[in-house]
Amino acid sequence: MLGDISKAEHIYIAVGYTDMRKQIDGLSALVTTQFRLDPFSNSVFLFGGRNARVMKTLYWEGDGFVLLYKRLENSRFKWPRDESEAREITPSSSGASDTLSYTGLKKIAKLFAIEKEIDTFPPEDKVKIRQERSKPLVDDFFSWCKDNQNKVLTASKTGKAIQYALNYEAGLRSFLEDVLVPMTNSLDGRTIRPFTVGRKNWLFSTSTKGAEASAAVFSLIETAKANRLDPYDYIEFILDYLPQQDLVENPERLDWFLPWSEEIKEEFEIKAD
């Protein structure tokens, strides 16, 4: 199990002191909310408390989190107090800044920086900025992929990543035209992961239809949450009123019940305090 840490793409140090009473749920939430990182990514997160002899390590192993508790018996680690005392340890810090993979990551990082900048912008502004600033970067990235696809082994990680990008170029470009499409599906991945982990414990889907029904309910709940609705009240409303509708004769009525409809949002949206 410990060997998997060596395969991590990133190692992050949580600067400052962490409440070492936090377990997996608390630390993974800290990674998401405070550091704005993905705890499910191929990364290792290190936490230290005021007692410099104790360190916790959190990482995702594919089907669950692993939390390691390490006591430093013979030495004390000087835990960094702020970002100036810490750095992210990546392959780029070990002399790989001129590699193809590092070049590709830098190109993608520019796109993510734009998305972060325009996250709260109105839809019409997002589309305009994506066309003016992101599209040239996307064009450059795919040109770079085509120029370099034969310069790496197809079975290598970089080779697979380049081929994946080229295979799905049309879909990866879709965010440039549709403001509702995010640049990355990481949010979707984080949303469904708890269910993929939990299904090993629940074991209640004894048929294909049961599994499909569960998936439909999970999707509806998560879509309601994504639209900032109260999921309980919304689902209760759907179960009470949707069966009363004649959707065969009036299929357009279904639009009214969708989580993003103005009527539904007006009724069930969770208001900010």
Per residue in 178-214, pLDDT (tens digit) is 887 888 776 666 666 666 666 665 666 677 888 788 8
Q: Is the pLDDT of residue 137 over 90?
A: yes
Query: pLDDT band for position 128 (50/70/90)?
Result: very high
At a CB cut-off of 8 Å and minimum separation 6, what does 42 contact? 7, 8, 9, 10, 60
Residue 11 resides in a domain? yes
Same domain, 46 and 116: no
- In this structure, is residue 100 part of a structural domain? no
- 145 within domain boundaries: yes
pLDDT above 90 covers what percent of the chain?
21
- Least trusted range by pLDDT, from 59-63, 132-136, 200-204: 200-204
**Could you tell me if residue 195 is inside a domain?**
no
Q: How confident is the model at residue 147 (pLDDT cuts 50, 70, 90)?
A: very high
Query: Span 20-24, mean pLDDT?
Result: 88
* Statement: residue 10 has pLDDT above 90: no
Domain boundary among 63, 89, 115: 89
pLDDT greater than 50 at residue 96 = no
Q: State mean pLDDT over 215-243.
A: 90
In a domain, 65, yes or no: yes
- Is residue 109 pLDDT above 70, yes or no? yes
User: Residue 83 above 60 pLDDT?
Assistant: no
Could you tell me how many residues make up the chain?
273
27 and 53 inside one domain: yes
Q: Provide the pLDDT for residue 145.
A: 94
Average pLDDT over residues 130-142: 96
Say if residue 74 is in the same domain as residue 116.
no
84 and 111 in a single domain? The answer is: no
Q: Are residues 112 and 171 in the same domain?
A: yes
pLDDT at 80 over 70: no
83 shares a domain with 15 = yes
Of 209 and 34, more confident: 209
Count of domains forming the chain: 3
Give the pLDDT score at 103: 86
Q: Is residue 179 part of a domain?
A: yes
pLDDT of 92 above 60: no
Pair (58, 132) in one structural domain: no
Q: Are residues 10 and 37 in the same domain?
A: yes
Q: Are residues 68 and 140 in the same domain?
A: no
C-beta atoms surrounding 154 within 10 Å = 11
pLDDT above 80 for 233: yes
User: Of 57, 89, 121, which one is at a domain's C-terminal end?
Assistant: 89
Instruction: Indicate whether 18 and 47 sit together in one domain.
Output: yes
Asked whether residue 13 falls in the same domain as residue 81, the answer is yes
Q: Is the residue at 199 inside a domain? A: no
Do 142 and 175 share a domain, yes or no?
yes
CA distance readout (Å), 109 to 12, 21, 113, 187: 17, 34, 6, 17
Q: pLDDT at position 234, please?
A: 94
The answer to whether 11 and 52 have CB atoms below 8 angstroms apart is no
Supply the pLDDT for residue 3: 45
Range of the domain at 263: 204-268
Structure tokens, 11: 């190692």
More confident residue, 237 or 180: 237
Does position 94 have pLDDT exceeding 80, yes or no? Answer: no
